[in-house]
Structure formats: structure tokens, C-alpha cells
């Protein structure tokens, strides 16, 4: 976690054509909108929550907030970027227009038209 989220150019996807990405910048894209966001991971029976922070020098850092047990079969990553109230409607429209083309559909908090 610390090596991937705090180093530009760090990627776990360079050796495969089965995953999107490889430049090591996608996981930092939350910083394009906010100076902090949270990351929750489920892996190997552990759930970990982190906060990624861009400080006044614009240097990013990451801190572990919580660690707890979870079912061994639970795996995944959740990124939460806080949205400004005035931007929520625009984000919902953009999500509807973009994610309807994904297969499988992502788990998101807006309704998507099934096509």
C-alpha cells in the first residue's frame, strides 16, 4: 500500500495485459479533486483503512487508520473521495453516462440504465 500510493510510477500491473493501468498514477487521481481521500482494502483475512493526504508542500502521504479481521474470501479495494455538495449532481450524471458501458457493472450509489 505505502509503496504504490506514495510513489509516482509505482504499479503492480506492468507485467500483465489482464488489468488496466501500468503508469502508477490512477491510484493518485483522488488528489485531482481533493487533498485527502480514504482507501479501504480487504485481503488475506484483514480489512485495512487508510487516509491519503496531500500536505501544504503538495507531497502525498498515507496513514493507516484502522485494521480489523474480515472473512478470508473478502477481497477488494474501495476508494472514497469526499465530494462538494454543489458537485454531486454533475458527478451522478457523469457516472451514469460512463459506467453504463462497464461489464461487469461497478457497485456505485446511483442508478444505471441497463442496456
Distances (CA, A) of 80 to 53, 109, 113: 13, 12, 23
Residues 49-91: tens digit of each pLDDT: 999 998 888 777 889 999 999 999 999 888 899 989 999 889 8
Q: Which of 43, 40, 48, 107 is nearest to 71 (CA)?
A: 43
The C-alpha atoms of residue 55 and residue 82 are separated, in whole angstroms, by 16
pTM comes to 0.71
- Residue 10 pLDDT more than 80? no
Give the cell for residue 71.
472473512
Binned at pLDDT 50, 70 and 90, residue 30 comes out as confident
- Residue 47 pLDDT more than 90? yes
Residue position matching grid coordinates 481521500: 37
Structure-model confidence comparison of residues 99 and 51, the more confident one: 51
- The bridge status of strand 60-69 relative to strand 46-54 is antiparallel
Average pLDDT over residues 26-54: 90
Amino acid at each position: 500500500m505505502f509503496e504504490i500510493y506514495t510513489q509516482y510510477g509505482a504499479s503492480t500491473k506492468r507485467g500483465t495485459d489482464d488489468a488496466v493501468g501500468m503508469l502508477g498514477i490512477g491510484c493518485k487521481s483522488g488528489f485531482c479533486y481533493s487533498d485527502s481521500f480514504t482507501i479501504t482494502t480487504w485481503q488475506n483475512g484483514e480489512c485495512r483503512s487508510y487516509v491519503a493526504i496531500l500536505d501544504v508542500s503538495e507531497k502525498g502521504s498515507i496513514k493507516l487508520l484502522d485494521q480489523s479481521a474480515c472473512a478470508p474470501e473478502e477481497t477488494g479495494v474501495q476508494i472514497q473521495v469526499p465530494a462538494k455538495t454543489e458537485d454531486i449532481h454533475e458527478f451522478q450524471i457523469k457516472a451514469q453516462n460512463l459506467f453504463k458501458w462497464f461489464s461487469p457493472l461497478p457497485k456505485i450509489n446511483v442508478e444505471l440504465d441497463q442496456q
